[in-house]
Each structure stands twice: as structure tokens, then as C-alpha cells.
Amino acid sequence: MATQALRWRAGAIGLAVLSLTLTACGGAKIEDAGSSGGSAGPGKCGTFNIAINPWVGYEANAAVVGHVAQYELGCKVVKKNLKEEIAWQGFGTGEVDVVMENWGHDDLKKKYITDQKTGVIAGTTGNKGAIGWYVPPWLAKEHPDITDWKNLNKYASKFKTSESGGKGQILDGDPSFVTNDEALVKNLRLDYKVVYAGSEAALIQAFRKAEKNKEWVIGYFYDPQWFLSEVPLVKVNLPPYKAGCDTDAAKVTCDYPAYDLDKIAAAKFAKSGSPAYDLVKKFNWTNEDQNIVAKYIAVDKMTPEAAAKKWVEANAAKVDAWIK
């Protein structure tokens, strides 16, 4: 999620050691899949390598595009579980063809698109993204002033946990999600400490439990996210975002910007003539579409492939527009 609000904080690692890095940091080793999807020649798909970043909304995008690529275009789809900067490193080697949901990342765009020229922007996904601090609905109802950041210190003692060192706890998700929260706590002089739940699933469970048991929880969350239809979390208003207010991440004092989520593809893949690249460029859907597929995966416990198949069969007109 841009230099100002990076979605991921994977360390800078040299391209020369990409394969080793992927094993250690990406959650799964990239297989030697050879060149990008267009290697079979113009008009033929060949292997189509999709990076899978670790949140279910992204997985929904990738599942649907992968399903269409496999069953409509005849591609050999290879999915690789990678955190974001690690995935972008794969553009230059042919090991990654596409990142299906990018949250800003101006720093990575400069490095891999402008400077190295190994990546290209492949259009928007249609999803509108938002990041912020949220509280469970019961809390906002009983203490409506808590949605103004200026009142947070007043309630800090209520959010204390065994992990927050005597301060209020701001609960974040996966440590690799890029977030400005530690800087915000410091720069807004809030009596809080950022504590990481460890994953998207753990963050969701904490909010679910807080709403059910009327517990005091405040934390990082985002939209699109299917969970918001189950528990309509209430956003805390931080100082309004203004262009450039988060350019220096260490000095940020403003809320997160609105995001027009986009797709990033390997430059080699974009020039390959592969029909999979045309599919990626044309892929466009809504937050509601994504949340439906994400819910199939996260709540209904369907495999990503089964979830994608169900959605595709119910949305033939949308899919047809991507492959014409």
C-alpha cells in the first residue's frame, strides 16, 4: 500500500539471490518455471506465473484470473506465495509475471518500473482501497467520541494488554503489511504501542471476539475485506490525508490515502504476446465482487479454485469482457 504507506516491508534483497530469498522470506520457494507466460509464442499462453500476496482479497483476484487463464485460455497457471517486494524482484528473472493487487507502492514502482524497467503498470483492478484504524461497533456506539483521534489518549488505559507495556494497544496484522502506525503513534503523541497480531486471520478474530464480548480493541484494518459485512467496524478519524503528508514515513501525522488498486506485470510478460497478459489488463471488478469470492474462501472454506469457479459461472458477462 507507496513510499507513504507501503503494503509490505520486505527487506531489500539483491536480484542475484532471488531464489534463496524466496525460500526464506516468501513463504514458498519459487520453482524454476523458466520464462514468462509468453514463451510459447504470440497468441499462445504457455506458463503464467502469478504471485500470491498474503491477504484473502488478493487471493480472490488471483484465483479468478488464474481460473479464467487456465480454462478459457489454456494457460499453465503457476501460483507462488510471496510477499510483495520479493514478488516484484521476480519480474526481471521471468519467475513472476504479475502482481494482481498493488496498494500504491510508489517506492517499488520507481525501483522496478522507472529505474530497472522490469515492470509495467497493467491497469486498475476496479477495487477501491482504504486503510485505517478501526474499533468494533459496540465501542463506537457506547463511546462515540472515540472515533476522533484527539480523544484516544483519554481511553488508552482501556486498551492496555500484557503485550503493550503499560500503554494502550494498537493491533496490527501481519508484520509485513506496510503500515505507518508506529510513526503515527509517535508523531501524534499517543500513549499507545503497536502490537502485531501476526496475520490477517488473527486480526479478524480479535475484532470478532471484541464485538461479541464487548472487549476494547483498536487496530489496523482495510477495505475491501469481506469481514466488514459480518462486523461493520467503525473507522477512527486520524488527521485528514493531504497529498504529500506521508512522503517521509518517519514524520507522517496524517491518515492513509484512498487507493485505486492496480496490477503490476513483468515488462517481458507484457511484450510477450501472451493472451494471459491481455486478460490481466482487462480484468476489472468491484469491491463487492472481490468480497464475495474472499468470503467463499475464508468463511465457506472453499478452495480458491472452487471459489473462482463458482463466481465465474455466475458472472459470465463480466468474464467474457475480459477475454474478448
Separation of alpha carbons 16 and 84, rounded Å: 17
Q: Give the pLDDT confidence score for residue 175 in this predicted structure.
A: 82
- In a shared domain, residues 123 and 133: no
CB atoms within 10 A of CB 121: 14
Number of domains in the chain: 2
- In a shared domain, residues 187 and 281: no
- In a shared domain, residues 188 and 217: yes
Looking at residue 94, the DSSP 8-state letter turns out to be T
- In a shared domain, residues 235 and 287: no
Separation of alpha carbons 282 and 152, rounded Å: 44
Task: Examine the fold and report which residue of 251, 283, 310 is the final residue of a domain before the chain moves on.
Answer: 251
Asked if residue 97 belongs to a domain, the reply is yes
- In a shared domain, residues 92 and 142: no
- In a shared domain, residues 239 and 277: no
Q: What are phi and psi of 288, to 5 degrees?
A: -65, -45
Q: Give the pLDDT confidence score for residue 42 in this predicted structure.
A: 53
Q: Which domain holds residue 238?
A: 129-251
Q: Give the pLDDT confidence score for residue 35 in this predicted structure.
A: 42
Asked if residue 247 belongs to a domain, the reply is yes
Query: Which residues have C-beta within 8 Å of that of residue 63, sequence separation ≥ 6?
Result: 293, 297, 304, 305, 307, 308
- In a shared domain, residues 151 and 236: yes
Asked if residue 212 belongs to a domain, the reply is yes
Q: Give the pLDDT confidence score for residue 63 in this predicted structure.
A: 98
Separation of alpha carbons 159 and 169, rounded Å: 5
Residue 309 burial by Cβ neighbours in a 10 Å radius (0-12, 13-18, 19+) = middle
Q: Give the pLDDT confidence score for residue 105 in this predicted structure.
A: 87
Q: Give the pLDDT confidence score for residue 89 in this predicted structure.
A: 96
Q: What is the CATH number of the domain that holds 158?
A: 3.40.190.100
Separation of alpha carbons 104 and 184, rounded Å: 19
Task: Examine the fold and report which residue of 218, 251, 284 is the final residue of a domain before the chain moves on.
Answer: 251
- In a shared domain, residues 233 and 134: yes
- In a shared domain, residues 147 and 238: yes
Task: Examine the fold and report which residue of 227, 251, 275 is the final residue of a domain before the chain moves on.
Answer: 251
Greatest CA separation found in the chain? 64
CB 53 within 8 A of CB 176: no
Asked if residue 256 belongs to a domain, the reply is no
Q: What is the CATH number of the domain that holds 12?
A: 3.40.190.10
Q: Give the pLDDT confidence score for residue 43 in this predicted structure.
A: 61
- In a shared domain, residues 7 and 38: yes
Separation of alpha carbons 305 and 11, rounded Å: 31
Mean pLDDT in consecutive groups of 10 residues from the start of the chain, 324 residues: 39 36 38 42 83 96 98 97 92 96 91 98 97 98 98 98 97 87 98 96 97 98 94 97 92 95 97 97 97 96 98 98 95
Separation of alpha carbons 89 and 155, rounded Å: 43
Q: What are phi and psi of 142, to 5 degrees?
A: -80, -25
Asked if residue 62 belongs to a domain, the reply is yes
- In a shared domain, residues 156 and 58: no
Q: Give the pLDDT confidence score for residue 279 in this predicted structure.
A: 98
- Mode of pairing for the β-strands spanning 76-81 and 119-135: unpaired
Asked if residue 17 belongs to a domain, the reply is yes
Separation of alpha carbons 20 and 111, rounded Å: 21
CB 60 within 8 A of CB 290: yes
Radius of gyration of the chain (CA): 20
Asked if residue 172 belongs to a domain, the reply is yes
Looking at residue 237, the DSSP 8-state letter turns out to be B
Q: Give the pLDDT confidence score for residue 143 in this predicted structure.
A: 98
- In a shared domain, residues 288 and 272: yes
